[in-house]
Structure 1
């Protein structure tokens, strides 16, 4: 990214090269989700893609969500004001889907708690009632394999486990989603060839999922393409096992049972544990009255010990 910005500062960048970079990134995204590249759209944030589903929902449609899920997954539906948005406990999500449900929308791994949803059970319940499925994999892809999800819209921002810059996101669309959702933010990059059809008056939209593209932030995608390429070079099973083993080791220090998640979250209402972790040089987060740490490739048992000792464990 620094090299790219240096070129940009001197006015020597070749704009079509950015398109080539973005298209390579689109291909990486397709591989990470296990779908054909024609089903992948690129953007800059997850809520944009969720918003496409919210706009397409008919008036009065029922949307089933997880109680306390991340705002980008639920707020586009709430902002409509004319939808029935039901919030249910994670454990009850599959059972809450019924004949009146238009869509179930949820994050595969919960941001605040690290809980992992049973995607197969949720999709099975949704299909039984002809409901659509939207799943946000932002907190999953990169440590939890996401190549076999049964969903109509899979949404991912790359700045978490995929280690890419903020401002690069992607989504995969089922055939049903392709036909039902509207490219409400269609711009010059939604055309079959953005560089040859940048002007009106015709509505020139790509036939595949790139019709849902938004104009990419070039510099973010330079970094994202490199990061996604690196992630694809890894053994996803080995990454999963490494991350979750460290997380479960830390959970044991907290007196918690193994969870199979790379995220560890525990009650910290006064923020004292978060402050102690920060003082010890541990990068942690505070979410919904809880402290949260996440383990990934660069972590090891020394990090587990450092974090545990910082909070007296």
Structure 2
């Protein structure tokens, strides 16, 4: 088990960086691995077999992080592409239940599917569980809302889905690495690891429960999804892996070199401790702003004209603006000084 202090030592920066919800920071181990890979590439020391081993280890680390077997994990590069495969499997006339205002990668593939008769309904996050009916084929939601940091009531959603015979798809991009996540609770999860997991952009994961996988077609079938990867380079005969690896997408190798140490680091942490650290800072900021505590790592507040965001940026604080609000995110590299810096930067702003 890696301690929080040991993990923090992996980040050379982080002061005034409140942007994990937009982009994570590279660990020293990730930078070292990617530099070594570039040197090997230049010297002609790289090989596909080397990268296969990297991906195998990274898949295993992610599976451990998410409480699933490695055989239930597929790799990819973008969550929207993975969600599109699931959207294509929804029968015409059946309903997909989405969260109003959820991140577009979790919504647009289903909106496109409306063109062939799929029914898509959008409800408020707090109404999601109560809105599931026997007509619902799939419930698609983010565990943590990107725009606000609100956390879904997983127990209620999963219970309602099971009671109504609906499948569940959970986007964990804004949660994995910041809090404990149990992917085994869902029929499918997607996660792009470049945010709280601090991997390079282009490393994404799909987890599939075995029963749900049987309802899907591997629309992105390719050589890397073959049961025997290097025996699958040429057609016409296709023999895809029987487990979730049959939904793998051919990897961008250098990205996975950087992802391996990042995913391994977070898989070795007590994520309940990380979550408590992040939430404590978020609540401290809420106290300073005079707004109700959210119990969240992401804190937002109204900023329609962008003045608060401008003040934060002028003070050298990395923050973001979403849906008419200023947005900051606290991760393991932050401390109470970052809270104080935000409050100081905003003090002169009406």
| 1:297 alignment counterpart | 332
Q: TM-score, normalised by structure 2?
A: 0.87
RMSD of equivalent CA atoms: 1.1
| 1:30 alignment counterpart | 63
Q: What is the alpha-carbon distance in structure 1 between the residues aligned to residue 229 and residue 190 of structure 2?
A: 23
**Which string of whole-angstrom CA distances, capped at 9 and with x for unpartnered residues, describes residues 261-293 of structure 1?**
110011111111111111111111111111110
| 1:222 alignment counterpart | 257
Q: What is the alpha-carbon distance in structure 2 between the residues aligned to residue 251 and residue 2 of structure 1?
A: 40
Q: What is the alpha-carbon distance in structure 2 between the residues aligned to residue 102 and residue 150 of structure 1?
A: 17
| 2:170 alignment counterpart | 135
* Structure 2 counterparts to residues 8-157 of structure 1, below 5 A: 8-80=41-113, 81=115, 82-147=117-182, 149-157=184-192
**Which string of whole-angstrom CA distances, capped at 9 and with x for unpartnered residues, describes residues 207-229 of structure 1?**
11000000011111111111011
Q: Is the 8 Å Cα contact of residues 68 and 184 (structure 2) preserved in structure 1?
A: no
Q: What is the alpha-carbon distance in structure 2 between the residues aligned to residue 46 and residue 36 of structure 1?
A: 20
Q: What is the alpha-carbon distance in structure 1 between the residues aligned to residue 265 and residue 63 of structure 2?
A: 14
Q: Which of the numbers 194, 206, 213 marks the counterpart of 2:229?
A: 194
Q: Which of the numbers 327, 335, 343 marks the counterpart of 1:308?
A: 343
In structure 2, the gaps of 5 or more residues are: 1-33
Q: Which of the numbers 261, 272, 284 marks the counterpart of 2:319?
A: 284
Most deviating of 231-240 and 93-102: 231-240
Q: What is the alpha-carbon distance in structure 2 between the residues aligned to residue 191 and residue 40 of structure 1?
A: 14
CA gap of 1:92–1:149, structure 2 versus 1, over 3 A, is farther
After TM superposition, give the deviation of residue 205 of structure 1 in Å. Answer: 0.3
After TM superposition, give the deviation of residue 12 of structure 1 in Å. Answer: 2.4
Matched, 1:159 2:194: yes
After TM superposition, give the deviation of residue 14 of structure 1 in Å. Answer: 1.6
Q: Is the 8 Å Cα contact of residues 183 and 189 (structure 2) preserved in structure 1?
A: no
| 2:15 alignment counterpart | none
Q: Which of the numbers 310, 320, 328 marks the counterpart of 1:275?
A: 310
Q: SS of 2:214's equivalent?
A: helix
Which contiguous aligned blocks of 4+ residues in structure 1 show a shift greater than 6 angstroms?
Answer: none
Q: TM-score, normalised by structure 1?
A: 0.97
Q: SS of 2:263's equivalent?
A: helix
Matched, 1:259 2:294: yes
Q: SS of 2:229's equivalent?
A: coil
| Structure with the larger RCO, 1 or 2 (CA within 8 Å, 6+ apart) | 2
Aligned residue pairs, count: 313
After TM superposition, give the deviation of residue 260 of structure 1 in Å. Answer: 1.7
Most deviating of 105-114 and 7-16: 7-16
Q: SS of 1:180's equivalent?
A: coil
Most deviating of 49-58 and 193-202: 193-202
